[in-house]
Structure formats: structure tokens, C-alpha cells
Amino acid sequence: MRISRILYKQLAYLFYVHAKRHEVPPEREINLRALGIKSKMPIKLSLNPRDQGFSKEFSLYGFREILNSLFVYYIVRKYRPSVVMDIGANLGYYVALEALAGAEKIIAVEPVPLTYSYLCRNLKTNENAVALNVAVADRDGEVSMTVSDSFNIIN
């Protein structure tokens, strides 16, 4: 147990150092091959260079959260729901996987205006997806929302 914890810390540190030096490119293709998903068409996402969370990690590897990615893809592929609601759609990574899996219609909800603009760019070629620039909360009305300078990563 102690050895695995030490190894994990070393690997996490190496990832951190590598990621810190990496510049986010304007766009990156989803690495479907690494996920074991077959597709004839490549899927590219426009990335936010200021985003040190999703955009940085995705630009390094071409995927994010591998188990979640596969879970979403295979659940949508198995059940083929008529509507998928993607709350907190960010740049549309999961929206792309949901569409690829065969979702008939996807409602992508993203509250952050700048992130929403990237989401809209990424959904231009997806006829099954609709983007909404709103937030989802447990009550009606307006609430304050704080967005980190580095977007979806906690400093």
C-alpha cells in the first residue's frame, strides 16, 4: 500500500510538471482509438487556451476521464435515449461521445458565457445537439456564480 501511494504521488507530480509546460492548442481531435471507440469521422474540439482544467488535459491526451467517457458512450449506445441532457456540457466532449453513441437529441447546458461560446463552435456540425447558456439550480431565480480564472480546475 505504501509503495503504491509513493508511486502514485511520483506519477501525479510528473503529470503536473509535463502539463504545466504544455501550451493548449486551438483545437484537438478526440483520441477515439485510445478509448477503443470506432468512428469513420474524426471529431475535433475547439479548446480554450485559458482553461487549465479540461482544455489542458484533453489537449495532452485527446480524452479525459476514461472510465466516465466509456460509461457515457456505452450507456447511450445501449439504451439509445430519445433525449440526453448534458448539464455542465463545458466544451462538448461528452456531447460528441453521446452523439457518436447514437443519441437522437442532446440538450447541452453550459452556464459560463466564454465556455458556452466554445461549446457552440464545437456543436456547429452536430445537428442533434442544442446548446443552452443557462445554469441549473435547486431553486428558481437568479444566483451568483463564481468562475475560476483557470476555469474548471481548482487552484
User: Minimal CA–CA distance to 120: which of 145, 143, 90?
Assistant: 90
pLDDT at 153 (0 to 100) = 64
For 56-97, write each residue's pLDDT tens digit: 889 999 999 999 999 999 999 999 999 999 999 999 999 999
In a domain? residue 146: no
Give the pLDDT band of residue 143 (cuts 50, 70, 90). confident
pLDDT at 155: 52
Is residue 7 domain-resident? yes
Report pLDDT for 55.
92
* C-alpha cell at position 135: 445554469
Determine, yes or no, domain membership for 11. Answer: yes
Residue 133 has pLDDT above 60, yes or no: yes
Structural domain range at position 13 = 2-132
- Flag whether pLDDT at 38 surpasses 80: yes
The confidence score (pLDDT) of residue 89 equals 97
Residue 154 has pLDDT above 80, yes or no: no
Domain annotation covers residue 89: yes
Q: How many domains does the chain have?
A: 1
In whole angstroms, give the CA distance from residue 96 to residue 109.
Answer: 14
How, if at all, do strands 129-132 and 105-109 pair?
parallel
Q: What is the pTM of this model?
A: 0.86
In a domain, 142, yes or no: no
Cα 69 to Cα 59: distance, rounded to the nearest angstrom: 16
CA distances, 15 to each of 44, 75, 94, 150 (Å): 23, 30, 23, 18
- What's the DSSP call for residue 37? -
- The length of the chain in residues reads 155
Residue 140 lies in a domain: no
Report yes or no on 149 lying in a domain: no
Q: What is the CATH number of the domain that holds 30?
A: 3.40.50
